[in-house]
Amino acid sequence: MIRRPGSGRVPAGPVPAPPATLPELLAHRAAAHGDRTAVINGPARLDFAAWQGRSGALAFALRAAGLATGDRVGLWFGTDRWTEYAVAFLAVLRGGGVAVPLSDRTPPAALGHVLTSAGVRLLVHAGPGLPPGTPPGVRGLTEEDAAGHPTASDLPLPDPAAPAQILSTSGTTGAPKGVVATHANLVHGCTHDERRRPLRHSRTFLHAFSVGSNAGQTMLVNALNAHASCVTAPQFTPARFLRAIAEHRVGSVFVVPATAIELLGSSALAAAADSGGLDTVRLVGSTAAALPQQVALGLSRAFAPAQIVNYYTSTESAPAQITLLFDANRPQSPGRPASLADLRVTDDTGRPLPPGEPGELWLRSPAAPRTYLGDDDGVFQDGWTRMGDLGRVDEDGFLHLLDRERDVVKSGAHKVSTLQVENALFTHPDVVDAAAIGVPHPVLGSVVAAAVVPRGTDPVGSGGDRDGLTATALRTFLLDLLAVHELPATVIFLDSLPRNEAGKVLKRELRRTLTHDHCEATP
């Protein structure tokens, strides 16, 4: 769960027992202050009382449609239907089912694969019909089907140890995997104590995350648990996002690197700052991937004096999370963890390494750990989750992410960090976005290749010059920042990088593009 930095002294007094499930937490909040707004999505508003009533009625309709305890239920919604999605998600949990959230932008083949592999037989959607790719035998249900049904107040609350949710991993380099979370996992860190609610410094918090992403699910839990109301953008554009900050006097803004890059590249950002539209922001949090150094610095300038925070977590490890407070004086690191107790750096045998030594990163979950639907591939061990990243913690306690383990380029006798190459690319004033990968080489095994989105220029053909920005000029610029074996041997210029719904670069697609004959290669 994305949490805020410390919000000051908490009044003394007895602490109520925490909720055991999300439906229990919703019932508590509906009873305590039902008319308080929980979710804002464009013109749609959802308060806690309506959330409780509508989800209860839909839970009853699901049971009437044949839902049995433990059955998997697909949820297919877009970012313009966040209030309806919030109702449907809690309805599935309240009815004893296991929610399988999916964005309405999921391609038909991927939708069919997820629903089949998860064993889904019911699909709650916004209508009017079932989405393309729905396998035969899957029955559709909408909230309208719950009209006239009583609420499910007589249903028993689910077992905290039972499965509650199946999310798909991002699949940026391989096939997505289903990750199972229990009710206890999802509700970890939530509270019944009004004095201890997260985001107390904010009247509202804002995000534009999609349904079906781990970041989106974190925001849904925050909507249930936080002091602030959740504002979720129906459709992300920089101008609309910035207007929402001003309109709702947002105190906490949550982004992924892709949206941060778009915000910094928008002419609307300066206008919003000049008009005072950003003055309420106290926290800018980024998740899904580490912010490139230049992007983090740009955010710290644009939203000053707000704290910039990188949240280090994953679909597999949540609610395990490391909160990294970005320091503009140490931009080479995403930040210093508030605590290192649940982070370890190990060698390839699992032995913890001392400060300064690079190795594999692991996170320890404070709650019931998640699991894969299939083979765990050694990812989950004794409460720890292998993150698939390489990194180190320096002597001052700052975390340094070196690369995804599978993205390291083995070029001859050298190992090259694609993150380091990307950070160097971002320092060029005409580079808006960039990604680096390894591509095959007949002698060295692999070499670095880069895809670059240049600033404010029109394409003249894939890999061609753009107002003077060429692969040769870019490599010359990088000579002062990278070693020779780290320089991209191949560079192409694109209008945009291929990204998934969570904003992560799809490197498997770039790899296909970068091996085509039209790439501009340089010696």
Which residue segments constitute the domains of the chain, with CATH numbers given?
22-187 (3.40.50.980), 202-405 (3.40.50.12780), 408-521 (3.30.300.30)
- pLDDT tops 80 at residue 174: no
Between 141 and 5, residue with greater pLDDT: 141
Confidence (pLDDT) at 96: 96
Q: How confident is the model at residue 172 (pLDDT cuts 50, 70, 90)?
A: low
Residue percentage of the chain with pLDDT more than 90: 79
- pLDDT tops 80 at residue 149: no
Burial class for 154, CB neighbours closer than 10 Å (0-12, 13-18, 19+)? exposed
How high does pLDDT run on average in the chain?
90
- pLDDT tops 90 at residue 397: yes
Long-range contacts of 241-245 (CB under 8 A, 24+ apart): 241/206, 241/208, 242/266, 242/268, 242/269, 242/272, 242/277, 242/278, 243/272, 243/277, 244/206, 245/206, 245/272, 245/277, 245/278, 245/280, 245/281
Confidence (pLDDT) at 7: 41
Between 115 and 14, residue with greater pLDDT: 115
The dihedral through the CA atoms of 346, 347, 351, 355 has a sign that is negative
Confidence (pLDDT) at 135: 96
- pLDDT tops 80 at residue 12: no
Confidence (pLDDT) at 516: 61
What is the CA angle 212-302-37, rounded to 5?
45
**Integer CA distances (angstroms), 169 to 25, 69, 151, 405, in order:** 27, 25, 33, 16
Rounded (10°) angle between helices 48-64 and 22-33: 140
Confidence (pLDDT) at 171: 62
Confidence (pLDDT) at 13: 66
Question: Tens digits of per-residue pLDDT, 34-80?
Answer: 999 999 999 999 999 999 999 999 999 999 999 999 999 999 999 99
- pLDDT tops 70 at residue 459: no
Between 387 and 467, residue with greater pLDDT: 387
Low-confidence winner among 13-22, 176-185, 306-315 (lowest mean pLDDT): 13-22
Backbone φ, ψ for residue 343 (5° rounding): -125, 135
